[in-house]
Amino acid sequence: MNKLFGIILLSVSVNVSASGVFFDGAPVKKVEVSGQSSSTYVLSEAQSEEYKVVISRDGENYYWTSRNNVRLVPVESGYYVTFIAVNGSGYVRTLMSDAREIFSLLPPEDQKNEYLYVEHLIHQLGSITYYGR
């Protein structure tokens, strides 16, 4: 009985202590859409740093750290995980950790032609979408 209690306590403490940055990425492209128009921009290094996305984890909870710490709900599907903002302000979709590891093994020239994540923000009656690595 004491061994079982110890195992349960250990697993709970591991879960609770799992915190910190879960995902971060730097966008390279920005797409703005409104009812009248759409625009696509290639971002400079400074803009890429300014619009960086950060998702942190605190135990079983995820937060959109780069967007006012909005709580996120992860939804897994295939090779992707989509983190949906509980306040309806948008989502971040990225590859599952195993697929991100495979992505990191690609040659740099191949990584340049792909995106590792998409961040979609609802903005008034339009949207802003960032694509990045």
Q: Where are the domains of the chain?
A: 19-132
**One digit per residue, pLDDT tens: the chain, 133 residues?**
434 333 333 333 333 446 899 999 999 999 999 989 999 999 999 999 999 999 999 999 999 999 999 999 999 999 999 999 999 999 999 999 888 888 889 999 988 889 999 999 998 889 999 999 9
How many alpha carbons lie under 13 Å from residue 72 in its C-beta half-sphere?
28
Is the distance from CB of 129 to CB of 121 less than 8 angstroms? yes
CA separation, residue 14 to residues 8, 10, 17, 60, 124 (Å): 10, 6, 5, 11, 40
> 3-class SS at 105?
helix
Q: What is the pTM of this model?
A: 0.81
Neighbours of 64 (CB within 10 A): 25
Name the token pair of 96: 């599952």
Helix ranges (H only) for 56-130 are 97-105, 108-111
